[in-house]
Chain A
Amino acid sequence: MQKRTLVILLIILAVAVFLRFYRLATLPPSLEWDEVATGYDANSILKTGRDQYGNWLPLTFRSIDDYKPPLYTYLTTVSIAVWGWNDFAVRFPAALLGALAIVTTYGMTYALFASQPVALLTAFFLAVSPWHVGFSRLALETNSTIFFMTAGTWAFLLGRKKGMYLPIAALFFGLNLFLYHNARVFVPLFGFGLLLLFWKDIWQQKKYAIASAVITFLFLVRLIPIVTSIEGQMRFQGTSIFTPALTQEMAARKVNYGTWLSDDQLANTGSIGKLFHNQYVFYGLLILKNYLVHFDPSFWLFTNDYVRHHVSEMGILYFIDLPLLLLGWYFLLRNANRKITLLLILWFLLAPIPAAVTRDVPHALRTEIMLPVFQMVIAWASVTLYSRFKRRLLLRQVFVGVLILLYVINISFFLHQYFVHFAKDTSRGWQYGRREAAQFAESIKENFDQIIVSTELEQPHVFFLYYLKYDPARYLSEGGTVSGGWAEQGNHFDKYYFRRFDYDQEKTSRRLFIGLPTDFPTHAVPVERIKYLNGQDAIWIVPG
């Protein structure tokens, strides 16, 4: 690597580190339920070797009944050991792997295109990508998967010539299977595609290829019992379109199908109706739609996804990305190496498959694994356009100037929205107020025998355990978590009880009630009103 390239890469890395670590603990404004559960389980593992349910070094964390893959929680255990038990430590692995993904992306892109400008630009575009920056600041497994994917692919591409990298690729891909649910679908499909594309090169490295196959086999042997177990399928059950819990849109479509079948019976076309309006057509079209909407520019630029997943008035890509993306695909299809193009297409098309069978689509988090294909294509477009203007100096300067200007405008807008407005705009989505509620209740708990926390606060037990830094060993000795499901009424520790309540029926002077404003009658007088950052009431604390 040339010295100049190294300096540029280090500058890009510095930008990436700044964007991922600056105000990490306080922006997003609070830890949401997955982050809190991971933080508590990681600390519990560190102190007791067991999770909140008392399971010894589990390979699947039951967490909030979503049965998380284990790798991110174990990485957080290390982080807590280093930084202490706090919000920064919980988010630290995601931010670190987010920053390291810039380096692995550079390496992978260089191995693919053999062009330093393309590799550097890809690294830069990923460093400032709203999609990647936003999710690098969350203690969720999804973003870390980008690091393992790019590292694994980089090692695989190097392994075509130097076989010793192939086992490293297998290791990264294998670890990815224990990091994120979607990777369990995507990685095998993508890995198979890589083998098909480069089997001639791999065949030249027989010894290392066999070693890689053994490593892969070991990971799969451990994984298969997990994914086929009831616990392993719980997450799929919880998010899939095949469960009885329908989204509003699905419910409306089901009603339509029912109406059509009745129409057909009245029109004496019942048998034809069954051919058209059956569950196979219903789910087939739904899956197809769920898959395809992830390729919609509307999703990339505006996104109707959760408010947590993007800043206001912006999507997960920059506006200027879109024309470059289209041009990039055009240049790739027309001129680039066929295998490179096929690899990128493969990655791009496979990534949304796991999300296609889930509810609440389009979903930026479940499809983040598409990164950094966008950035590679955009970088390719930029470099190709630049090279086309090589003989026209003025045009080239204008092109570079305009591109820089447009990116400065786009990036500035994103940073402004993120660092100035995001917390206030989305604090409700981040389940803001649980920390304040827990700390306030703790400060006055001596006045009460029982503190009853409404389960309408969504997994309140794990928020209170985390924010009160409740000793994991003591919690487990009191019985640990019964279930994380939000209908669960049986969790408690110390004076805290987590269940639904009827304020008027249950109030006594020795009880304190914590819940949403809607949990209380209008005549209830709160001793504390905790507000979202936009000023709306979030949580009421009311003595009996």
Chain B
Amino acid sequence: MTNLKNSFGLMSRATLVLIIFTTVSLILSRIWLLGILPPGGADSFWLRLPTACASILSVILTILIIHKLTHERKLALLTGFFLAINPWHIEQSRVYSPAMVGLSVLLAGLLVTLFTKKTILKLAISLPTLIGFYLVYPSFRLFGNFTIKLTLYEFLHNLFKLISVDYLFFHDDSYWAGGFRTFGVLLVSTLPLFIAGLFYLVKNFNFAYIRWLIPFIIIWVIAASNPMFPEQQEYFLITPYLTLILAYGSLFFYQRFKSGNLFIKTILTVLIIFFMYEQVLFFHWYMIHYSNRIKNERLYETEAF
């Protein structure tokens, strides 16, 4: 108890606020009204609960992994925070989503391997992780009949769509039935953070980063090779990468904010206000309009088929 008190005492106010924000966001956006938002049936709450729990777990695991890898508490917490308020992550948390559960399994496996020093043990842990991943996410492209039916041109087109501005910030159409479409994978107000994060990573590029890029590239390729493209859920597994970039961007801005002049502080304040505005807009849209759209689509499907 004393240790816990001490560790809270050592925390800066910003860190504490970040932890509180992340926790509150996680509980409110994952559990609150889970059975009725988006509209579902009588037992929706219980059907959705495992995904919601996996979603909370994925945020916690991401924080622990980033902390273990970088030893930077703020970076880890910020990554978790951005994952907790990420529109796509929230949307997937509140429906039955094998991709979300699969993500948690992968992150859990990764975290355990990070605490393991022997290579043989790491490999031994990878196997149950993959089996677990298969069990919770059997529809993952690699587990089915993995054939690429696209031409090279179509495949490249898909690859670039997945990293396009339109897809990332304006129009995520990867999940049509129940997907958002009116929002991107990330909120557009996070674009400055995204650019700053990329800038920081490019400027401080280290060849050790490459091994962490490999899983991203594998998922990216698998998602782009889906014959149903843009309808696919594999790309959801990269959300922790995106929020890590945002976290780097935030730290970059935070340093500028602390040392910047009035002009820079004003610009950053405007960006923060825009970010808060869009976040509230998103929740408003999710609760009122998304819910209505799903109701209408359900009605349409019932009548049409």
Contact assessment for A264 and B288 in the assembled complex, using a CB-CB cutoff below 8 Å: yes
> Is B156 interfacial (CB 8 A cutoff)?
yes
Contact assessment for A292 and B165 in the assembled complex, using a CB-CB cutoff below 8 Å: yes
Q: Mark B1-23, 1 if CB is under 8 A from A, else 0.
A: 00000000000000000000000
Q: How large is the interface on B (under 10, 10 to 19, 20 to 34, 35 or more residues)?
A: 20 to 34
Stretch at the interface among A91-99, A151-159, A197-205, A295-303: A295-303
From B161, B169, B202, B205, A292 is in contact (CB under 8 Å) with B169
**Which residues of B lie under 8 Å from residue A259 when comparing CB positions?**
289
CA distance A297 to B284 in the complex (A): 32
Q: How far is the CB of A329 from chain B (nearest CB, A)?
A: 8
With A285-B188, A301-B156, A313-B153 as contacts: A260 and B289 at CB distance below 8 Å: yes
Residue of A nearest to B191 (CB): A292
> Is A250 interfacial (CB 8 A cutoff)?
no
SS class, residues of chain B in contact with chain A:
helix
> Is A59 interfacial (CB 8 A cutoff)?
no
> Is B117 interfacial (CB 8 A cutoff)?
no
Contact assessment for B160 and A330 in the assembled complex, using a CB-CB cutoff below 8 Å: no
> Is B44 interfacial (CB 8 A cutoff)?
no
**Which residues of A lie under 8 Å from residue B182 when comparing CB positions?**
256
Q: Beyond A293-B166, A297-B160, A330-B205: 4 further Cβ-contacts under 8 Å?
A: A263-B292, A269-B284, A276-B281, A295-B165
Interface residues of A in 55-112 (CB under 8 A from B): none
Q: Which residues of B does A touch, CB under 8 Å?
A: 153, 156-157, 160-161, 163-166, 169-170, 182, 188, 191, 199, 202-203, 205, 281, 284-285, 288-289, 292
Residue of A nearest to B292 (CB): A263
Q: Which residues of A does B touch, CB under 8 Å?
A: 256, 259-260, 263-264, 267, 269, 272-273, 276, 281, 285, 288-289, 292-293, 295-298, 301-302, 313, 319, 329-330, 333-334
**Which residues of B lie under 8 Å from residue A302 when comparing CB positions?**
156-157, 160
SS class, residues of chain A in contact with chain B:
helix
Q: How far is the CB of A531 from chain B (nearest CB, A)?
A: 28
Contact assessment for A263 and B288 in the assembled complex, using a CB-CB cutoff below 8 Å: yes
Q: How far is the CB of B182 from chain A (nearest CB, A)?
A: 7
Closest 10 CB pairs of A and B: A292-B165, A298-B160, A296-B164, A298-B164, A276-B281, A297-B160, A260-B289, A296-B165, A302-B157, A289-B170
**Which residues of A lie under 8 Å from residue B170 when comparing CB positions?**
285, 289
Q: How far is the CB of A301 from chain B (nearest CB, A)?
A: 6
**Which residues of A lie under 8 Å from residue B157 when comparing CB positions?**
298, 302
From A269, A288, A293, A297, B288 is in contact (CB under 8 Å) with A269
Q: How far is the CB of B295 from chain A (nearest CB, A)?
A: 11
**Which residues of A lie under 8 Å from residue B289 when comparing CB positions?**
259-260, 263
